[in-house]
Structure 1
């Protein structure tokens, strides 16, 4: 379909409300999808870091308890 002017292009042969609302909804959904994916990725990374810190703390506590139980604590007398 060829348009003789920019105004004709915007009017879309009388179908402008349907055409431009469809474009608007499509653009909105694409942007919302990208935003949501980025948000989920950020939350996943945050959760993995939190779990890693928790596991590291647990391992550190187990190592300290293991050294104490084995008499590995160093005491100056």
Structure 2
């Protein structure tokens, strides 16, 4: 099996079509990297919102149980 290009400079020149080939590669990779970055940032934000919501729900439950315990203690006195 013979390589398609004799040297690295031939590879980067792409047989005279380097501008079009590398432009297409760049215009493909930029959106892919953007998509990966967006996914990572969105996931972090989503997990932070979930943690905040769970923390708020725990505080609400604790306040309700404390209020119920205070009311029960107040009635028994």
The alignment's TM-score, normalised by the length of structure 2, stands at: 0.81
Aligned residue pairs, count? 74
Give the equivalent residue in structure 1 for 2:51. Answer: 49
Q: 1:23 aligns with which of 13, 25, 29?
A: 25
Structure 2 unaligned segments of length 5 or more: list them. none
Structure 1 unaligned segments of length 5 or more: list them. none
Q: CA deviation at 1:32?
A: 1.3
Q: 1:65 aligns with which of 60, 64, 67?
A: 67
Q: CA deviation at 1:34?
A: 1.2
Q: CA deviation at 1:68?
A: 1.4
Is the helix fraction higher in 1 or 2?
2
Distance 1:34 1:72 in 2: 57
Q: CA deviation at 1:5?
A: 2.6
CA RMSD of aligned residues (A): 2.1
Distance 2:7 2:27 in 1: 25
Deviating 4+ runs (over 3 angstroms): none
